[in-house]
Chains A and B, each alone.
Chain A
Amino acid sequence: MIERRWKRWLHFYIPLGVFILVTLFPFYWMLITAIRPDEELYRSWRAVNNAPFWTLSPTLDHVRDLLAKTTFPRWLWNTFFIALVSTLISLVCGLFAGYALARLRFPGAGLLGTGIFVTYLVPQTLLFIPLADIIRNFHLGNTPWALILTYPTFLIPFCTWLLMGYFKTIPKELEECARIDGATRFGAMARIIFPIAVPGILSAGIFAFTLSWNEFIYALVFLSSPERKTVPVGVVSELIRGDIYFWGQLMAGALLGSVPVALVYSFFVEYYVTGLTGSVKG
């Protein structure tokens, strides 16, 4: 089938170009706002020689203010630490549970599998009010542990689901051989099956990490001191003073808060996409 050139433009290049433009423009806008001096930012939109799409005098003032005058570096560290630890906890739980559901026979297996799948679909906004009360009663309020222990509630079901699917693709004969050679069931699982599942573990881990980095409502409700906050909550609650939006600083914060997760993503695109598509297919 030979397509005529204009037809290919009309049906392919132009729509794809519009998709790319709309998808990426907000990120370009973050960048350009973050490096633009205030007097350019707040110029009337009808002013003459207003050039909103680029800047004539780029500056790093906003970034410098953000890093020096706010607790932003602290928020970055908090977010990273919380995301990493909750991802690790969820991976361990997910590995074990996924293996048990994929390989072991025990009463109530079907029910438990369904139960874990259903918790996967429970949104955080359904539970945040009672959960805030529980966190207070456990004396976990305003500590990183409030998030490290609650993030696994939406990460474990996903990790279990993904890894269970992965384990099912590994032939059972491998374990049986190891067992004949004298390995315990647990040993066969930990030394034979888990190493083979590394790509699956990586997919689940990358996806879980980005999910915890993005989480907002639990972090908003459970943390209160400025230096304990995560990036999304810190940017929302600490960079707006009164009713005044310091857009340069806000966009610098949005940009810097996005870079770590974008970097992780760009190194592991394939794994992320496997995690993403696996998250809905199981």
Chain B
Amino acid sequence: MKSSAAGGATGVEVALPHPSPTRAGRLTRVLDSERALAFMLLGPAVILLGVFIAYPFVMGIWLALSSTSVGNVGEYVGLRNFVKAWNDSIFQTAFRNTFVYTFWATIFKLALGMWLALLLNRHFRLKRIVRASMLLPFIIPTVLSTFAWRWMFDPTFSVLNWTLYQMGLIVTKLPFLSDGTYAMWCAIAINTWRGMPFFAITLLAGLQTISPELHEAAALDGANAWRRFRHVTWPLLKPVTLVVVVFSVIQTFSDFQLIYVLTGGGPANSTHLLATYAYQLGVASGLLGEGAAISLFMFPVLLLVVWLQLRYLRRMEGA
């Protein structure tokens, strides 16, 4: 990433040391100065990101340190919001849920996505259309597909319960969304369903860069399928995998919509994530300060993940 800046065109300056005076309007001169041009080109992006990311971030810290609520400016209260959240049992559940949700969903997405990528990397009829259709869960708005799942988990009319019952696997309905533990695992399953294609397609792109000759050579040496995966495919796929996992961890850790639609945090606040609980306090109840503080609890984890990612990128460039 840093090397990008070194891509300047020194050769150009040699070719045209001075703008020719005949067409040397002021604008032309400005546009020819690399520094001024860079300044102008980056301007719009930097302004938008500054106003709608950096400024809200600073403002979020201020809100979290204040007693602001809707219609009430509030005053500085120090860390009171954070301490209050930390001792709040719903927050504790949400905090734990967020880690459990992120951990298991990421593991499942990685394992199943890798498996699917290996399957899709083989030759079979209708390969293109199968590959394209596997991405659908990732394309379709999460809110809309989560509604379909919610309907499939419906307490009275669940098609999944019906199927399991007809197959003789259960005798009474499973409480998919009416029991906290069940509901959490349902959410993890849906998150896996939605995110697995992203893993599969990205890993597939990585797999396609691996020369088949490596596998043939390993097979000639007598390596079985598992050993070929372990010692040929996996080491070459590790860099892509790491990046995909980082992206997925950030998305999953900060997830909101899936839980909002599936359970709304219920039953009895047992399935809240940090983001849904922040919404409930900050927007639904109007306690902006407390909501902002809960959002900010996500920050250290995100910071750690981003830091690892940046360090990794640097190392790749150094190599």
Contact = CB atoms under 8 A, between A and B. Distances in A.
Contacts of B53: 119, 122, 127, 153
B5 A126 contact: no
Contact of B59 (A41, A44, A134, A258): A134
A216 B276 CA distance: 13
B207 to A, nearest CB: 11
A145 B159 CA distance: 41
Contacts of A94: 45
Contact of B52 (A114, A149, A176): A149
Interface size class of B (residues with CB under 8 A): 35 or more
Contact of B44 (A50, A92, A232): A92
A128 interface: yes
Interface size class of A (residues with CB under 8 A): 35 or more
Nearest to B8: A105
A266 B132 contact: yes
Interface in A211-251: 213-214, 216-217, 220-221, 231-233, 235-236, 245, 247, 250-251
A33 B49 CA distance: 42
B278 A125 contact: yes
Contact of A114 (B1, B120, B159, B254): B1
Contacts of A56: none
B48 A93 contact: yes
B25 to A, nearest CB: 10
Interface string B4-43: 1111110110011000000000001001101101111110
B100 interface: no
Interface in B47-80: 48-49, 52-53, 55-57, 59-60, 62-63
Given A118-B306, A129-B60, A20 B134 contact: yes
Interface string A24-66: 1011011001000000011111100010110000000000000
B295 A128 contact: yes
A99 B41 contact: yes
Interface-central residue, B52, B122, B130, by most chain A CB under 10 Å:
B52
Interface in A66-102: 89, 92-94, 96-97, 99-102
Interface stretch (B85-93, B102-110, B138-146, B180-188): B138-146
Nearest to B296: A126
B116 interface: yes
A45 B161 contact: yes
Given A184-B28, A266-B132, A126 B37 contact: no
A24 B45 contact: no
Contacts of A41: 157
Nearest to A155: B48
Interface-central residue, A24, A105, A112, by most chain B CB under 10 Å:
A105
Contacts of A109: 2, 4-5, 38
B141 A213 contact: yes
Contact of A160 (B16, B31, B37, B45): B45
A126 B254 contact: yes
Interface-central residue, B35, B57, B116, B140, by most chain A CB under 10 Å:
B140
Contact of B9 (A22, A29, A103): A103
A121 B256 contact: no
A168 B38 contact: no
Contacts of B254: 123-126
Contacts of A117: 1, 310
Given A101-B5, A110-B2, A125-B298, A251 B15 contact: no
Given A12-B122, A26-B145, A126 B39 contact: no
B31 A185 contact: yes
Contact of A262 (B42, B136, B275): B136
Interface-central residue, B6, B139, B197, B283, by most chain A CB under 10 Å:
B139
Nearest to B47: A93
Interface string B185-201: 00000000100011001
Interface in B264-295: 274-275, 278-279, 282-283, 288, 291-292, 295
Contacts of A131: 52, 56
B193 A23 contact: yes
Contacts of B1: 110, 113-114, 117, 282
A248 to B, nearest CB: 10
B45 A254 contact: no
Given A97-B41, A175-B12, A126 B295 contact: yes
Contacts of B198: 276
B127 to A, nearest CB: 10
A51 to B, nearest CB: 10
Given A129-B295, A185-B31, A258-B144, A26 B38 contact: no
A210 interface: yes
A281 interface: yes
Given A15-B115, A254-B144, 17 more contacts: A103-B7, A104-B5, A104-B41, A121-B309, A123-B250, A123-B253, A125-B275, A128-B282, A129-B283, A134-B52, A134-B56, A160-B45, A172-B11, A175-B12, A220-B260, A247-B157, A281-B243
Counting from the closest, the 4 A-B pairs by CB-CB distance are A105-B8, A109-B5, A123-B254, A125-B275
29 contacts: A12-B124, A16-B119, A16-B124, A19-B134, A23-B197, A29-B151, A33-B148, A44-B156, A45-B165, A50-B162, A97-B41, A101-B4, A103-B8, A105-B6, A106-B35, A110-B5, A122-B302, A123-B251, A125-B255, A126-B60, A129-B291, A134-B55, A184-B28, A216-B141, A216-B143, A232-B257, A251-B151, A265-B135, A269-B135
